Amino acid sequence: MNLDITLIWGGLLAFVVLAYIIFDGYDLGVGILIPLMRSDQERAQMLSSVRLWDANETWLVLGGGGLFAVFPLAYSIIFPALYLPLIGMLLSLVIRGVVSEFRWQNKQSAMIWDSLFFVGSFLAACFQGMILGALVQGIQVVDHAYAGGPLDWLTPFSVMTGIALALGYSLLGATWLVLKTDGELQNKAFSLIKVLGSLMVLMVGVVSLWTPFLKQDYLSRWFAWPQAIYVLPVPLLLAAAIFILFRAVNRRNTWVPFVATISIFLLSYIGLLISIFPYVVPDTITLWEAAAPLSSQKFLLPGTLILVPIILIYTTYAHWVFLKEEKA
Amino acid sequence: MMEFFDAVMLARMQFAFTVGFHIIFPAFSIGLASYLALLNGLHLYSQKNVYLDLFNYWIKIFAVAFVMGVVSGLVMSYEFGTNWSVFSFKAGPIIGPLMGYEVMTAFFLEAGFLGVMLFGRERVGPKIHFFATLMVAIGTFISAFWILSVNSWMQTPAGYSINAAGQFVPEDWIKIIFNPSFVYRLVHMVFAAYISTALVIASVGALHLLRLNKSAVGSAAGTFTQGSRQAVCLMFSMALWILAILVPMQMEAGDQHGLNTFKYQPKKIAAIEGHYEDAKPAGLMIFGIPDDKNRKMDYALEIPYLGSIILTHSLDGEILGMDTWPRDETPPMALPFFAFRIMVGLGVMMFILGMWSLWLRHKKTLYEKTWFLKYALVMGPAGFIAVLSGWVVTEVGRQPYTVYNLLHTTQSHSLLNAATVGTTLVAFITVYFVLFGIGVYYILRLMNQGPAGSELASTPVTQSKNAVYGSYLQNVGKGDSHES
């Protein structure tokens, strides 16, 4: 009992979801910003800055597949509960994926494909945010199965988290554009960061204040003494990251805004995990209750521990190849 | 009528629709990725431009097909949970890790190197570019390995025990992965992917040869350069070699797969063979119309003894009929029965194509015979139709179980209401038909253009309508005007 495999798996899956949020977040964000750019040239440049979107999206497949493999009970409760937003997200991603390819096939219709690319990116982001919100606010479970209705997920809270995530992604997208482009487009991206960053601060504030009041349990994590002292660094670091973001924009630094925004995401995510741990279906099913038999967990673990770093290496390589090109 | 469209039926339709759509694209990308790796390797080795011309031509088509495979595959990985949550809970401990390995060893490999393969040639140089192409090809192959392992396990489960919660618990991963039908299925599917792709390539080659031959005889306004004729002939010849060699091998593989199914899934064989009653000796049903209600085959056309010979390799071997088992434990007959005949019939037509090509090669008229070229042209989609038919045979033949003989389909689904599943089904059908319809249209348009010859790079047809993918993006990156 000195090595808790299930806990390691919880950590690994949390990492995979975070990797998805950051990787696909920047390219969904770029898609959301498309309508703000008027010229065809700028839009084409934006789209070619997210040409690795399918590698980024693979983290989502791994997240879903990992949950299926290691926490099948959670998978079989969460997925039917979030049926409509999940299918909505999938269809949005289907639309976004294919039209990103169609644009290069038929430039005459570029306007249509760009609009659909925006719609797909925006809806995918909103649905993901709503999925997150619905999970945090709780799912009705009876006898280890989802027992609610098809629209239970749709609440003011989940709509708000949907908008918050779409905003967050577009901020990440804007910082990515600063990193990947130059000239006029880069200038626009810099000014977008200021606007989106301010809105993001507002949303982080609203979500952070709303979440603890959803459930008594969340409240005590954050405000009960003495635990509060352990979680205090999270909001403090968050404030620091926001400060660094704005300062970097003023100094027109190209790398720091992207890294600072990733830190904002990371800290918000840690905050979320602090609220729900050790539950995987908040309040009802813990990691250990949801876990697959040990033989499943053991079979997949060594492969994951070896393969995920390798994947990160060649994914970084692919990003680097194109980073060099665009800066040359 | 209303109870026919209950949530389970709708969920099955949704799954069948999305998988059926999906399966075409991986079948094409497995074959095309290998072909691209081969062309890239041959160019690297021989430095002949014609290989690069073909590579540049097919990679545009690959890019569109691959993207549709990726996004429709993404849907599949989530539909297990949304529509089949009980199945997911029970079979997840076995299937989940296999799919997890698929994502990590195959999906990421393909997606990670795809960008370098599509856009990176100028930036990384020919050797790393070849490496990236090879990784994508290997990725598609590894993907097939895991997915067929999953599918085969659902057909012929092995290496498990069942715990108190009713979950399948993995006991022996070697037995799970290499379950009794896995190798047969993998070989059959990979051959099918190669053959389907070769048929498409041969068909596109035939189309352009027909045009080239016509323009050489008729008007002088041929739109193709010498270089592109060389490329067309080369791809046509390569594809027909693949067909001449692989189709006979596929027939043997299919026969072996059939024997394996006879051993492990006799109910499926009974449906395929069209036998309601036990037969000893058994004939081979050529045609008939199954009547599940009255348990008899109408308009049956049967060759005596042949069924026994094929399946038991003896004159009077026994083949069990559907009535051997209770009715609620057997699949419906009509779909597997007809789908199997379509698959085999198309297989015979592919065999004729391959053999005919060998004969014409011998006569040195492979690129001239108009009838042969027309035959090759119409056979273009045959591989995909055969793949879909084969998939119907194997999946409908598995019914009424999700895990063969162990987990009933009606006990595998999520507790959902019909309206929810129905709504999303309509959404899937709409989005898929519109978007993938456009995708297929773009693919056909690219195919219609034919490969450019590098000897005379200003080939009018290929350049004006469709600027080369990579160079377009480069122009964009450098801030040039992007209307060529």
pLDDT tens, B128-162? 999 999 999 999 999 999 999 999 999 999 999 99
Nearest-neighbour CA in chain B from A103: distance (Å): 11
Alpha carbon distance B101, B145 (integer Å)? 10
Alpha carbon distance B239, B209 (integer Å)? 14
Strand partners, B289: B298
Predicted confidence band of residue A326 (pLDDT cuts 50, 70, 90)? low
pLDDT at position B219 = 44
Alpha carbon distance B316, B325 (integer Å)? 22
At a CB cut-off of 8 Å and minimum separation 6, what does A16 contact? A59, A62, A63, A66, A308
Residues of A in Cβ contact (< 8 Å) with B416 = 80, 83, 150
Alpha carbon distance B35, B65 (integer Å)? 14
Nearest-neighbour CA in chain A from B330: distance (Å): 27
Residue type present at position B433? F
Name which of B77, B95, B104 to mutate to probe chain A: the one with the most chain A Cβ atoms within 10 A of its Cβ: B104
Residues of B in Cβ contact (< 8 Å) with A12 = none
Residues of B in Cβ contact (< 8 Å) with A314 = 112-113
At a CB cut-off of 8 Å and minimum separation 6, what does A137 contact? A155, A157, A158, A214
Q: What is the pTM of this model?
A: 0.89
Nearest Cα neighbor of A135 from A175, A72, A202, A77 is A77
Which token pair is B250? 């596929």
Q: What is the CA radius of gyration of chain A?
A: 20
Nearest Cα neighbor of A264 from A22, A15, A16 is A22
Say if residue B281 is preceded by a cis peptide, omega within 30 of 0: yes
Residues of A in Cβ contact (< 8 Å) with B94 = 296
Q: Where are the domains of chain A?
A: 5-326
Predicted confidence band of residue B321 (pLDDT cuts 50, 70, 90)? confident
Q: Which residue of B has its CA nearest to A292?
A: B93
Residue B470 has pLDDT above 50, yes or no: no
ipTM of the complex: 0.89
Burial label for B458, CB within 10 Å (0-12, 13-18, 19+), is: exposed
Nearest Cα neighbor of B283 from B308, B262, B312, B260 is B308
Which token pair is A147? 């027992």
Give whole-number Cα distances, B215 to B210, B212, B377, in Å.
9, 5, 18
CATH of domain A5-326: 1.20.1630.10
pLDDT at position A108 = 81
Q: Where are the domains of chain B?
A: 7-278+320-452
Nearest-neighbour CA in chain B from A186: distance (Å): 13
Alpha carbon distance B39, A27 (integer Å)? 32
pLDDT tens, A91-144? 999 999 888 888 888 778 888 899 999 999 999 999 999 999 999 888 888 888
Residues of B in Cβ contact (< 8 Å) with A67 = 81
Which among A84-93, B268-277, B455-464 has the top mean pLDDT? A84-93
Strands A145-146 and A141-142: antiparallel
Q: Which residue of A has its CA nearest to B90?
A: A72
Choice among B201-205, B387-391, B402-406 with the minimum mean pLDDT: B402-406
Alpha carbon distance A81, A284 (integer Å)? 14
Contact B103 A90 (CB under 8 A): no
